[in-house]
Amino acid sequence: MAFYNLPLRLLKLVKESIDEGQPIMSMEQAIWRMTGDQADWFSVDAGRIRKGDRADVVILDPAAFDQDLEQVHWAEMENFGLQRLVNRNPGIVKHVFINGRQAVNNETLSTSLGHEKGFGRFTPALQVSSR
């Protein structure tokens, strides 16, 4: 589905509320809600930047939030001969680090991504929750 940019939509909403002088929450709170808060909910050891932990980090350009995040279009699925409904938001996600390795640099995928080990790992829940 083409609705996987919910975190970007939340950040845009928060940014606009701050710019209008009626913040619904701080940008830090919004980022926490999408990272550490969700990790805590699912009992996963992730969502924080701490010394010695793996470094999964996304670097965004807040100036690029002025675009329409709801536009969708059809795109080819490489190697499958199919199309899928997607939304692309050029200019927002500048860099992505997975396990400390740069996977995206200025919106360009690393040629190592998907071909070399070390970009990620299985992250099990810390405990079984009865939520």
pLDDT given for residue 73 in this prediction = 87
> Would you say residue 2 has pLDDT above 80?
no
Percent of the chain with pLDDT over 70: 94
85 vs 33, 68, 71, 102, 118, CA distance in Å?
27, 16, 10, 27, 30
pLDDT tens-digit map of 52-99:
887 899 999 999 999 999 888 899 998 999 999 888 888 999 999 998
Q: Does the predicted TM-score (pTM) go above 0.85?
A: no
Span 18-28, pLDDT tens digits: 999 999 999 99
Q: What pLDDT is stored for residue 88 in this prediction?
A: 84
Q: What is the mean pLDDT of the chain?
A: 89
